[in-house]
Chains A and B, each alone.
Chain A
Amino acid sequence: MDYVIDLVIIGLSVGMVYALVALGISLIFSGLDIVHFAHGEIYMLGAFIGLMIFQKLALPYVPALLLAIVVTGLIGVLIERLFYRRLTRAGGGYTVAGMGMIISGFGMSIVLQNIAFLIWGAKPLPFPVPFGMPVEVGNLTLPMSYVWIVSAGLLIMVGLHLLLRRTMLGLAMRAVAHNKDIAYLSGINVPAMISLTFGVGCALGAAAGVLIGPINYVQVQMGLGVLIKAFAAAVVGGFGSLPGAVLGGLLVGVVESLGAGFISGTYKDVYAFILLVLVLMVKPSGILGVEARMKA
């Protein structure tokens, strides 16, 4: 039984990282109607920024995490403002679906990867955070790094929930996500809200990157694997649904961990996609997703 609990704890810690990235993807999708394929690189960029703040500014881990979230969020705003905005405007409004945005997402992913490569090189960099000794709970040994990931992830999610549900800014973001034209007519600065939504989505990716950095190290190619899992998580939970992204992320993490523990670790990546297929067969819109409908 202890072994199962251990596996679930590991799954939850990895799942929390997937959930944060999936949350960012879902937030950007709900706000901008675009699937952001460069989000894995935002996660990577956030991890590098966190590492640089931690090492060069010699700040403790928590301030480094918070500062990395803010800086990456601002970079996200800049990216949206300078690049994606042009495409959305070219589409005749605030939203343009289609190949242009998908291709530019892939392009942005390559650009960010190469920028990171030029700055930090290809080799993995250690993120040496002294989390302290593992906590003993009965027969369980709970590493502090997992405790950090899960609790920091939960705090960030609570923060996001409060921002979206309890502030005027959040209300404006939700209004823009729901219907941009009506939001505009209501006096909301729609372009600013889109930038903000994109920035918050990127900040969530950065949080995930900084949280996993001490365990998996930080390297240029770290984004691809997590992006695929995060997409799976977002789809399992219901694409565009924020609670769904969290649930999907945690489910993917736990299923992956249990599969690796009880079946075979060699095919660890497959379990997430088996889960994805099963969920889509039973509920094509995802566990917490709503029936697809045309957005205004």
Chain B
Amino acid sequence: MPYPGIRCALLTAAMATGLAAAPARAEDGVIRIGISLRMIVENGLKYGQMAKDELEAVNAEGGINGKKIEVILLDDECKPDKGIANVNRFIHQNKVHLVMGSVCSSVSMPQVDITTKEEVPQIVSSSTNADITKKGSAWVFRTSVSERFYASVHAKYLSENVGKKVAYLYTTDTAGIGFAKDYMAFMRRTYKVEPLYEAQMQESDLDFRAHLLKIKSLNPEVLAIGGQLDAIARIVQQSYEVGIPKKVRRVSASAASNAPVPELAGDAVVGLAFAAAFSCKDERPVAQAFVKMVQEKYKVRCPDHDFSQTYETAQLIKLALKNAKLELTDASLKADRAAIRDALANIRDYHGLAAGPINFCADPTPQCRDGNRTGILVEYTKGGKDYDMRVLARVGFDPDFGL
């Protein structure tokens, strides 16, 4: 053999490739949970880690009903293609019993199609787009407050306290569209009011000033901003640059609750209202204990609702796992997934960090699967790194609301 070294290396490489390509063998007796979240932002890494820590913490106490939990945590960067790849990996390679995530609605939407097809329970932790639970999947649950509730928290409060002349500016991401469309639909349905101005921008747009100038010339009472966090920060800041006066109330999608928005927009964020599921200014003992835990363990001064909903989702998962009868073998994978789904569907009147109770039920409808139906309206009182906010209102809804 002229080149034994090269041959040996090729053989090793071929074996390694073969091993890597082969599906990982799932360990019996372990509950496997796949988590796909937007972790590309600094806080994302922290709440991702928090979800993993919360779930795996049970292992130190002997597991849930004696069963250990293994968490596979992946970043989807808020990109649908990565979110789809993550879920496919969870299901086909890791053979998970449950999928948790994601944060961005544009990621959760296609993920739901896959988990539904593959019959894997999924609990959506932070996405708000109303269509997620309208797909009618028997396998999907949502901890976050749906946009159909959020939009009405804004709409009701602002139309009664500020005015009904609303200009809408939103980006083409799913959450942005969902926020604006739901808000507009509510205003039409309830007050028969058409938008004063409506414009959709690309997600990648940085300059919104041409639209904002047009909006300024129309003298709106409310400027509704839909989009992801950096788009919201840009629009708010640019709205002041083009001279839209402070008396025009700025209201935005729930992504505004994320810390980068006040940090990016600085003082321009003062007065910006948004609906959220949680505020670190919530004075309930359970909320303050959570805030303290996040401050100490994850060094985040004011955890937003992505943190609270991630934490809440982890608690709901643990509760469901405790009540599910699981065999946890290769052969029982399908039955175990169904058992977890049924256990999630049986959660009733759960009181945690959300402003109201969380209730799920068995029907694959938004009424049953949008478990959290209480939103709060929050406004920023200070921008920058030391941002501050206050709760303006707390509003609960019937399960049928907005459908």
Query: From residue 224 to 240 of chain B, which have CB atoms closer than 8 A to chain A?
Result: 230, 233-234, 237-238
Q: Give a binary string over A204-217; 1 marks a CB under 8 Å from any B CB, 0 the rest.
A: 00000000000111
B217 within 8 A of A: yes
- Is A217 a contact partner of B230 (Cβ separation < 8 A)? yes
The interface centre, meaning the residue of B234, B260, B264, B266 with most chain A CB atoms within 10 A of its CB, is: B264
Q: Which residue of B lies closest to A214 (CB)?
A: B237
- Is B199 a contact partner of A265 (Cβ separation < 8 A)? yes
Q: Which residue of B lies closest to A6 (CB)?
A: B213
B242 within 8 A of A: yes
Q: Which residue of A lies closest to B206 (CB)?
A: A216
CA distance A267 to B241 in the complex (A): 23
- Is B209 a contact partner of A10 (Cβ separation < 8 A)? yes
- Is A217 a contact partner of B210 (Cβ separation < 8 A)? no
* CB-defined contacts of A143 to chain B, threshold 8 Å: 241-243
Q: Give a binary string over A224-249; 1 marks a CB under 8 Å from any B CB, 0 the rest.
A: 01000000000000000000000000
CA distance A67 to B313 in the complex (A): 49
CA distance A222 to B204 in the complex (A): 10
CA distance A6 to B238 in the complex (A): 13
Query: From residue 199 to 230 of chain B, which have CB atoms closer than 8 A to chain A?
Result: 199-202, 204-211, 213-214, 217, 230
CA distance A14 to B205 in the complex (A): 13
The distance from the CB of B238 to the nearest CB of chain A, in whole angstroms, is 7
CA distance A264 to B172 in the complex (A): 14
* CB-defined contacts of B260 to chain A, threshold 8 Å: 123-124
- Is A7 a contact partner of B266 (Cβ separation < 8 A)? no
- Is B238 a contact partner of A7 (Cβ separation < 8 A)? no
- Is A266 a contact partner of B201 (Cβ separation < 8 A)? yes
B263 within 8 A of A: yes
A124 contact from B213, B214, B230, B384, Cβ within 8 A:
B230
A268 contact from B205, B243, B265, Cβ within 8 A:
B205
- Is B213 a contact partner of A10 (Cβ separation < 8 A)? yes
Q: Which residue of A lies closest to B385 (CB)?
A: A126
* CB-defined contacts of B40 to chain A, threshold 8 Å: 122-123
* CB-defined contacts of A10 to chain B, threshold 8 Å: 207, 209-210, 213, 242
A107 within 8 A of B: no
- Is B42 a contact partner of A121 (Cβ separation < 8 A)? yes
B41 within 8 A of A: yes
* CB-defined contacts of A146 to chain B, threshold 8 Å: 241
B210 contact from A122, A126, A215, A261, Cβ within 8 A:
A261
B213 contact from A3, A128, A266, Cβ within 8 A:
A3
State how many residues of chain A have any CB contact under 8 Å with chain B. Answer: 32
- Is A216 a contact partner of B207 (Cβ separation < 8 A)? yes
- Is B41 a contact partner of A122 (Cβ separation < 8 A)? yes
CA distance A121 to B208 in the complex (A): 25
Q: Which residue of A lies closest to B204 (CB)?
A: A225
A141 within 8 A of B: yes
Q: Which residue of B lies closest to A14 (CB)?
A: B207
Query: From residue 125 to 139 of chain A, which have CB atoms closer than 8 A to chain B?
Result: 125-126, 128, 134
- Is B243 a contact partner of A134 (Cβ separation < 8 A)? yes
- Is A123 a contact partner of B41 (Cβ separation < 8 A)? yes
- Is A266 a contact partner of B199 (Cβ separation < 8 A)? yes
The interface centre, meaning the residue of A122, A125, A216, A260 with most chain B CB atoms within 10 A of its CB, is: A260
CA distance A264 to B199 in the complex (A): 8
- Is A217 a contact partner of B233 (Cβ separation < 8 A)? yes
- Is B263 a contact partner of A145 (Cβ separation < 8 A)? no
A269 within 8 A of B: yes
* CB-defined contacts of B241 to chain A, threshold 8 Å: 134, 143, 145-146, 215
* CB-defined contacts of B230 to chain A, threshold 8 Å: 123-124, 217, 219
The distance from the CB of A112 to the nearest CB of chain B, in whole angstroms, is 19
* CB-defined contacts of A268 to chain B, threshold 8 Å: 201-202, 205, 207, 210
CA distance A152 to B181 in the complex (A): 41
Query: From residue 92 to 128 of chain A, which have CB atoms closer than 8 A to chain B?
Result: 121-126, 128
The interface centre, meaning the residue of A217, A264, A265 with most chain B CB atoms within 10 A of its CB, is: A265
CA distance A216 to B230 in the complex (A): 9
* CB-defined contacts of B211 to chain A, threshold 8 Å: 260-261, 265
- Is A266 a contact partner of B207 (Cβ separation < 8 A)? no
A257 within 8 A of B: yes
The distance from the CB of B86 to the nearest CB of chain A, in whole angstroms, is 18
A126 contact from B201, B214, B264, Cβ within 8 A:
B264
* CB-defined contacts of A141 to chain B, threshold 8 Å: 242-243
* CB-defined contacts of B202 to chain A, threshold 8 Å: 266, 268-269
A-B contact pairs, 18 of them (CB 8 A): A7-B213, A10-B209, A123-B40, A123-B42, A123-B260, A124-B230, A124-B264, A126-B264, A215-B237, A216-B234, A261-B214, A264-B199, A265-B199, A265-B200, A266-B199, A266-B202, A268-B202, A268-B205
Question: Would you list the 10 A-B pairs with minimal beta carbon distance, nearest first?
Answer: A141-B243, A260-B210, A143-B241, A216-B206, A261-B210, A126-B264, A10-B209, A6-B213, A124-B230, A123-B41
Q: A124-B230, A143-B241, A222-B206 are in contact. List 13 more A-B contacts (CB 8 A).
A: A7-B210, A10-B213, A122-B41, A124-B264, A126-B265, A126-B266, A217-B233, A260-B210, A261-B211, A261-B214, A265-B199, A265-B205, A265-B210
Interface residues of A (CB under 8 A from B): 2-3, 6-7, 10, 14, 121-126, 128, 134, 141, 143, 145-146, 215-217, 219, 222, 225, 257, 260-261, 264-266, 268-269
